[in-house]
Structure 1
Amino acid sequence: YWIVSATQAQFQPQELRLHQRGGMDYDKGCYLGQEVIARIYFKAAPKAFLHYVSGIGDVPAAGDKLEKIQIVNAIATAEGFEALVVARPE
């Protein structure tokens, strides 16, 4: 995924699963406000995470909100679109 101007400052690092991909280190201190996020992560489960989805129809734009789902990025495919979204696991 990539962050564009429409999605800048809209997602928490743990929502994009940066901690699972080496994008941040809870022991080192990589960004402003990390202590608060680390406490949330270790003491309570984050409510939403990054998911891969595919669909048919028009390609949603980065930053669009569809009910409880927020689009991070989307691309057109022959069958419709593929997208990375931040959503609750259910």
Structure 2
Amino acid sequence: MTKNVWKGLILGGLVAVAAGCASNDDLRSEIADVRSMAQDAQSTANAAKRTADSAQQTADRAMKAAQEAKSCCEANSKRIERMFEKSQRK
């Protein structure tokens, strides 16, 4: 009886160890998958940041051009106003 118990315990231990090894391989595989997904996500985030940086540079250039156009427009308006006042004095 004791021999059968020991055999059962040893057999059960071997099954548990084998199952543990299989689940470790599964776990390693899942960890590798998660790392791959994280790297893909990081690559996507980096690409999005580059696109956002480029968009910001374009917006900054557009803002500068708009400010220059506004300054030019204001200068032209002042010139026209002075010309109008000068013509009214005559």
Shorter-chain-normalised TM-score: which range? under 0.3
TM-score, with normalisation over the residues of structure 1?
0.15
Structure showing greater radius of gyration is 2
Q: Counting helix residues as a fraction of each chain, which structure ranks higher?
A: 2
* Structure of higher RCO (CA pairs closer than 8 Å, 6+ residues apart): 1
TM-score, with normalisation over the residues of structure 2?
0.15
Q: Counting strand residues as a fraction of each chain, which structure ranks higher?
A: 1
